[in-house]
Structure 1
């Protein structure tokens, strides 16, 4: 099974995730949402699983560059609209395992997820 890794090619966290997946010989497809965009339905699925407040990268320079009116009174609908308009606001990477997603790159989380899927790792 090929997994799908979402992010931006030049992001350091995405690079770390890609290196780890490559070193483990885990097949994946890379989706660069700064080039390919992202669909609202995909963001809605991720928000349902993870919560919009996990997906919206409030620590990013892109978020801090928003005017105050855009950053205030956020809810899922407004957060999704922001992320659709500016995909760089989406926390990255997001690894879609089919049955669940991992947000951000933490070595121990990736290792545990794939150990559960493939005990030989």
Structure 2
């Protein structure tokens, strides 16, 4: 089963959900705000793709961080501010995909 992590009002989440639903791909959506992710899950994201791909540096949350926080991204900081995570995070049996891209999602069909 595919798991999609994000926040429900995110445009990228909406596009990804529409794409997968239109193609009959089953997935479970987990909203960071309603169901906070565990430290273990977050660490698995970081281990799978690295901090650079995982952090949304264009987000308002990231821009509002201090320079020190930007230089020292940590599990604790992200757990406190889950909107720092680029969305969606798709967890499949073949690994983790970050962000929405139709070409990237084609292999899920």
The bucket for the TM-score relative to the shorter chain is over 0.9
Q: Which is higher, the Rg of structure 1 or of structure 2?
A: 1
Name the structure 1 match of 2:96: 101
Q: How many residues align?
A: 109
**Partner of residue 54, structure 2:** 55
SS in 1 for 2:74: helix
1:68-83 aligned at under 5 Å gives the runs 68-72=67-71, 74=72, 78-83=73-78
Greater RCO between the two (CA within 8 Å, min separation 6)? 2
Give unpaired runs (5+ residues) of structure 1. 115-120
Secondary structure of 1:38's match?
coil
Q: Distance in 2 between matches of 1:79 and 1:20?
A: 32
Residue 4 (structure 2) aligns with: 5
Poorly superposed stretches of 4+, deviation over 6 Å:
none
Query: RMSD between aligned alpha carbons?
Result: 1.2
Secondary structure of the 2:4 match is strand
**SS across alignment from 1:88:** helix
Partner of 2:18: 19
Per-residue deviation, residues 41-79 of structure 1 (Å, max 9, x unmatched): 11111111100111111111110011222112x2xxx43
